[in-house]
């Protein structure tokens, strides 16, 4: 499996260092290239949670 990046090229960090385009935290963005598919899937689930909680 090869998990695709959620990046939508709308890169801008908010006050919590979360990308307003893909909802990843800066630490998740930085490790994405080295993360295995399991970790990437975990990150994507967290992004979905953040997206639903964002006003």
Please state, for a pLDDT cut of 70, what percent of the chain lies above it.
98
What digits encode the pLDDT tens for the residues 1-55?
Answer: 799 999 999 999 999 999 999 999 999 999 999 999 999 999 999 999 999 987 7
Alpha helix ranges (H) inside 1-55: 26-31, 37-53
Quote the CA–CA distance of 39 and 54 in Å, as a whole number: 22
Residue 54 confidence (pLDDT): 75
Quote the CA–CA distance of 36 and 16 in Å, as a whole number: 25
Residue 1 confidence (pLDDT): 72
Residue 19 confidence (pLDDT): 97
pTM listed for this prediction: 0.90
Residue 24: Cβ-neighbour burial (10 angstroms; 0-12, 13-18, 19+): buried
25: helix, strand or coil: strand
């Amino acid at each position: 499996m090869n998990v695709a990046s959620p990046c939508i090229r709308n890169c801008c960090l908010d006050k919590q260092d979360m990308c307003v385009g893909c909802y990843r935290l800066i630490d998740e963005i930085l490790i994405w290239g080295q993360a295995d598919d399991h970790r990437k899937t975990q990150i994507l689930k967290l992004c979905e949670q953040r997206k639903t909680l964002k006003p």
